[in-house]
Amino acid sequence: MKKSIILSTGKGYKVWRNGILRPLAFFLVFFSFLLAKAQDTKIPPSQLVVKDTINFGDSTKAGLINKILQPIRFRENKIKRERERIVELIRKLAKEGDVSIDSATVNAIATDLIALTEGLAAARDTSTRLQDEIEQLLLNLDTKAPKQLVDSVQVQLGNVLQGLLDDSKAENVAAKKQLSEKLMALREIQFSCSSEEAPVFDATLGDTLQVSYHKCLSARTRIFGWHLASMGDRYQNYNLNYLTDLVLYGYELSSSGKENNPKSLLGLLEGGILEKNQSFGKAVSLSVYSNSLSTISAFLNQTSAQDQFVSRVKELISNYSLKGINIYLSEVSSRDSKKFTQFVSKLKAELAALDKNIILTLSIPPIANSRSIANANAYEFLFLNPLVDFYLIQTQKLNITDTRIPFSPGALYPDAANSRGSIEGTFAFYANGKVPVGKLVLTVGYQGISWPMPDFVPGTRAIGFGSSLDYRTIQQTLVSTVGQPEGAVLGYDPEQASAYLNYGELGDLRQVWYEDAKSLAEKYSWALANSTGGVAIWGLGADEGYTELWDALGATLVSVDSVVISSKSLAPPKTLGLMDYLWTYMQDIQWAGLNDIYIGDPNKKPEADYCYFVTYPDRDSLQNLAKAYDISSFWQNRNEFVAYQDTDFYSINSYKDCICMIGRWNRYAEINMLLSIILFGVLGLCILVTLLGVRKHGDEWTLRGLFTGISIAIGLLALIALFFYLFFNTQVGFIGAGSSEVTIWMLILIFGFGIAAGLLINRLRSAKKFAYRELP
């Protein structure tokens, strides 16, 4: 698909991207008038200046610079800077001698240009195409200025517009970074509070209450996701953790009350989506729909058809464990208003008798025109409100394909240029004495609409009806070309809170309006800020693998929460005495020498958990683990060294027990290391005293034997403390607690050092006994 525009004047002008088409056209119009005025006034170039007659604070609704910049549609707080950039370009051209004009002529040109743009608008209403005007303009300009000057203006204008595009990209990147930061905490949890897979944590509060809880994802409002039968197995890409309700579309209503699509309905209910939902625990509703006014009217006027429908729906609820019913009728005529209310009342009573927790939702139209107002007024909200739990407003259908007015499928705020309504206007209509705002649900869609266009001037009507494009297609075929030399041009309308793309080639221009992550985040935030009943997403699966729309949902409407599962009172903590510490120490010595320590039932091998780390945590890491598992003291979980019941394996109760045990091992290692340092220091002091005494008093010094014995005893104690330091230190991987092998090395070291110590003691005693003496 080509995405460029060739502005042909007979001399081979350059290819320009369609996004520059309209601003370039206005600028060239301006430039041609500028030259013409300069020629008419015939002021010498040396006297021509551009004075600061532009008011940079002009309203965004009028003014020359705004006319040039209108296709960008940036936020109003950027307008001043953008105007300054364009004016600086004009001033530069004047300073270099390419353009010369005085302030009075500038004002005159501005007036003429505005009149010309109004004339162009009128010409479009009579089907005169903008590109014809541009070509004629370029032909006129060619007779008034050299090609080198025209090319210079084109290049410099392109640079200015590229700068504006870069600003837009920077803003989009900033928005994405903000979403990513919010998602970090969500991605660490992964499971919603209703999921069976959500992990269970234990915490002790005030030493008297033990609480088991889920740390999970919780929706900040009700979030409905529509799964259409046409989506097939795309449900595999759904992140059900971000939803509270799943609506299956659906049950096509016939005038007899039975489904008009039994094969499609069966495929929907047994296609796998319900099986996937089992572990997520979302409330699944079945949507009952009809797009035929005659079928709806016939059904509402037949009691037997309604009875048959209720019977069939109750059967489906029982067979598939459904938790709700959605009524989605395209239109209810005003003469059937009371009949519809009576039907809803009957259905609600039957559902409540089956299960009082079954919800009933009603899809209602958005307020897009006078016909939709008439459709909405056909519902007797005064009587329906006590029966209906939520009203799902189809705001993703504010704009439709069967129109020639291109703008967002679901505009957030009213736009005077478009008569198809807005989300804000729709909610204002229903909340104005009809429905409590807490029951109104905003619906967004994952699809866009593309129109054939004569040009890209805002407010221009399309030259044909629109066509639907899903998000996946838009991303793969259009968004992927943004930034390329002949690619699509991306824009964002903050008033409609919607993204759009201009693409195509001259004679075959198109414009698509669609929802992206930024626009959805704005609408979700609006729904939350206005205390609505929630949001709904029409057409889950249309993104097909693109996760940014799910990211926008999670970052805006989902938060991390803690849900208590159970709690129990604890006896006041026992104050440990000396015997308790000694008992625990003896047990921990035996645990440290064990090769495999199981957690829980060791019969579940090889899936059994072990009290083992590939790299054992150091002191700081242990403190972090203790904090994460609410461990106030490593002495609070003490285990007796006994084999698991009816096995030869040794097992502790929980991962928390494992952390406490490792914490005590490290404490023992620290104490023994400190003790060994002290003992080796005392040993060195004793040896020094012994050597000084022998030197002073000779070999017959009476205290020599005493200090020698003390030195031997202290040395042995120091070695024992050193061995126990190595034994309990989990950072030493070849013996004791930190080893995954049998502790034979501990025995080898003890025997080795014992033999060496024995030889040393024997040598000392022999040296004293057989000392050389001079005999008389």
Cβ contacts of 719 within 8 Å, gap of 6 or more: 676, 753, 757
Task: Looking at mean pLDDT, say which of 100-109, 252-261, 544-553, 703-712 comes out highest.
Answer: 252-261
- The per-residue pLDDT for 654 is 87
As given in the structure block, the two tokens for residue 257 are: 């009350």
Pairing of strands 222-228, 245-252: parallel
Write phi, then psi, for 599 (nearest 5 degrees): -110, 115
Instruction: Please give the average per-residue pLDDT across 319-335, as a whole number.
Output: 95
Write phi, then psi, for 710 (nearest 5 degrees): -60, -40
CATH of the domain at 337: 3.20.20.80
- Mean pLDDT is lowest, of 33-47, 162-176, 652-666, for 33-47
Whether residue 569 lies inside any domain: the answer is: no
- The per-residue pLDDT for 374 is 93
Token pair 């709904």 is found at 536
Give yes or no for residue 369 having a pLDDT over 60.
yes
Cβ contacts of 361 within 8 Å, gap of 6 or more: 224, 247, 285, 324, 325, 326, 327, 388, 389, 390, 391, 392, 441
- The per-residue pLDDT for 320 is 96
- The per-residue pLDDT for 568 is 77
Query: Does residue 435 contact residue 385 with C-beta atoms inside 8 Å?
Result: yes
Cis ω for the linkage preceding 250 (within 30 of 0): yes
Q: How far apart are CA 518 and CA 548, in angstroms?
A: 9
pLDDT class for 24, splitting at 50, 70, 90? very low
Give yes or no for residue 66 having a pLDDT over 80.
no
Q: How far apart are CA 545 and CA 179, in angstroms?
A: 18
- The CA dihedral of 36, 39, 44, 50, to the nearest 10 degrees, is -10
In a shared domain, residues 109 and 69: yes
Query: Does residue 737 contact residue 617 with C-beta atoms inside 8 Å?
Result: no
Could you give the percent of the chain with pLDDT greater than 70? 69
Whether residue 480 lies inside any domain: the answer is: no
Instruction: Please give the average per-residue pLDDT across 660-667, as a whole number.
Output: 90
Cis ω for the linkage preceding 45 (within 30 of 0): no
In a shared domain, residues 135 and 8: yes
Supply the DSSP string of 661-723, one letter for each residue.
HHHHHHHHHHHHHHHHHHHHHHHHHHHHHHHHHHHHH-TT-TTHHHHHHHHHHHHHHHHHHHH
- Mean pLDDT is lowest, of 57-61, 494-498, 610-614, 717-721, for 57-61
Q: Which region, left, alpha or beta, applies to residue 630 given φ > 0 means left and ψ of -120 to 50 means alpha?
A: left
In a shared domain, residues 103 and 226: no
Q: How far apart are CA 356 and CA 603, in angstroms?
A: 44
- Mean pLDDT is lowest, of 421-425, 536-540, 570-574, for 570-574
Q: What angle do CA 327, 333, 334 make, to 5 degrees?
A: 115
Greater confidence (189 vs 75) lies with: 189
Give yes or no for residue 454 having a pLDDT over 80.
yes
Query: Does residue 187 contact residue 273 with C-beta atoms inside 8 Å?
Result: no
Whether residue 717 lies inside any domain: the answer is: yes
pLDDT class for 179, splitting at 50, 70, 90? low
Task: Looking at mean pLDDT, say which of 32-46, 205-219, 350-364, 687-701 comes out highest.
Answer: 350-364
**Residues of the domain holding 688:** 578-769
Give yes or no for residue 520 having a pLDDT over 90.
yes
Whether residue 492 lies inside any domain: the answer is: no
- The per-residue pLDDT for 68 is 40
pLDDT class for 11, splitting at 50, 70, 90? very low
Give yes or no for residue 45 having a pLDDT over 50.
no
pLDDT class for 370, splitting at 50, 70, 90? confident
- The per-residue pLDDT for 469 is 93
As given in the structure block, the two tokens for residue 259 are: 């489904």
Q: How far apart are CA 503 and CA 603, in angstroms?
A: 65
- The per-residue pLDDT for 74 is 39
- Mean pLDDT of the residues in the chain: 77
In a shared domain, residues 345 and 264: yes
Instruction: Please give the average per-residue pLDDT across 620-639, as a whole number.
Output: 85
Greater confidence (599 vs 108) lies with: 599
Greater confidence (714 vs 564) lies with: 714
Amino acid at 176: K
Whether residue 353 lies inside any domain: the answer is: yes
Per-residue 3-state assignment (H helix, E strand, C coil) for 715-759: HHHHHHHHHHHHHHCCCCCCCHHHCCCCCHHHHHHHHHHHHHHHH
In a shared domain, residues 543 and 585: no
Whether residue 316 lies inside any domain: the answer is: yes
- The per-residue pLDDT for 441 is 97
Give yes or no for residue 146 having a pLDDT over 50.
yes
Which one of 172, 192, 214 terminates a domain? 172
Greater confidence (187 vs 424) lies with: 424
Helices in 126-146 by DSSP H: which ranges?
Answer: 130-142
- The per-residue pLDDT for 17 is 38
Could you give the percent of the chain with pLDDT greater than 90? 36
In a shared domain, residues 216 and 355: yes
Instruction: Please give the average per-residue pLDDT across 366-394, as a whole number.
Output: 95
Whether residue 146 lies inside any domain: the answer is: yes
Q: How far apart are CA 76 and CA 59, in angstroms?
A: 9
- Mean pLDDT is lowest, of 133-142, 279-288, 390-399, 554-563, for 133-142
Q: How much of the chain is helix, strand and coil, in % rounded to 5?
A: 50, 15, 35
8-state DSSP, 143? T
- Mean pLDDT is lowest, of 25-29, 438-442, 673-677, 722-726, for 25-29
As given in the structure block, the two tokens for residue 758 are: 């024995």
What own/partner pairs with CB < 8 Å and gap ≥ 24 does 136-141 have?
Answer: 137/25, 137/28, 137/29, 137/32, 138/7, 138/9, 138/13, 138/28, 139/9, 139/10, 140/32, 141/28, 141/31, 141/32, 141/35
Query: Does residue 183 contact residue 554 with C-beta atoms inside 8 Å?
Result: yes
In a shared domain, residues 607 and 707: yes
Return the bridge partners of 441, or none.
392, 534
Half-sphere exposure of 342 toward its Cβ, with a 13 Å CA cutoff? 11
Instruction: Please give the average per-residue pLDDT across 340-348, as a whole number.
Output: 97
Q: How far apart are CA 228 and CA 247, in angstroms?
A: 8
- The per-residue pLDDT for 43 is 40
In a shared domain, residues 272 and 400: yes
pLDDT class for 69, splitting at 50, 70, 90? very low
Report which of 637, 636, 633 is spatially closest to residue 623, judged by C-alpha positions.
Answer: 633
As given in the structure block, the two tokens for residue 160 are: 């200015």
- Residue 128's Cα: distance from chain center in Å? 46
In a shared domain, residues 603 and 551: no
**Furthest CA-CA distance within the chain:** 145
Helices in 530-654 by DSSP H: which ranges?
Answer: 548-557, 578-592, 619-628
Overall number of domains in the chain:
3
Report which of 737, 744, 743 is spatially closest to residue 661, judged by C-alpha positions.
Answer: 737
The Cβ of residue 23 has, within 10 Å, a number of other Cβ atoms equal to 22
Query: Does residue 420 contact residue 368 with C-beta atoms inside 8 Å?
Result: yes
- The per-residue pLDDT for 505 is 80
Q: Would you call 399 exposed, middle or buried from its count of C-beta atoms within 10 A (0-12, 13-18, 19+)? A: buried
As given in the structure block, the two tokens for residue 567 are: 């709690």
Angle between helices 130-142 and 103-125 in degrees, nearest 10? 140
Q: How far apart are CA 527 and CA 390, in angstroms?
A: 14
Greater confidence (4 vs 165) lies with: 165
Whether residue 488 lies inside any domain: the answer is: no
Helices in 321-380 by DSSP H: which ranges?
Answer: 337-354, 370-377
In a shared domain, residues 755 and 655: yes
- The per-residue pLDDT for 728 is 86
Q: What angle do CA 458, 464, 470 make, to 5 degrees?
A: 80
- The per-residue pLDDT for 262 is 95
Token pair 């501990």 is found at 746
8-state DSSP, 70? T
Give yes or no for residue 300 having a pLDDT over 90.
yes
Pairing of strands 498-505, 489-493: antiparallel
In a shared domain, residues 405 and 362: yes
Question: Which tens digits make up the pLDDT trace of 682-715?
Answer: 989 988 888 888 888 877 788 877 888 888 888 8
In a shared domain, residues 161 and 285: no
Q: What angle do CA 356, 361, 363 make, to 5 degrees?
A: 170
Helix (H, G, I), strand (E, B) or coil at 179: helix
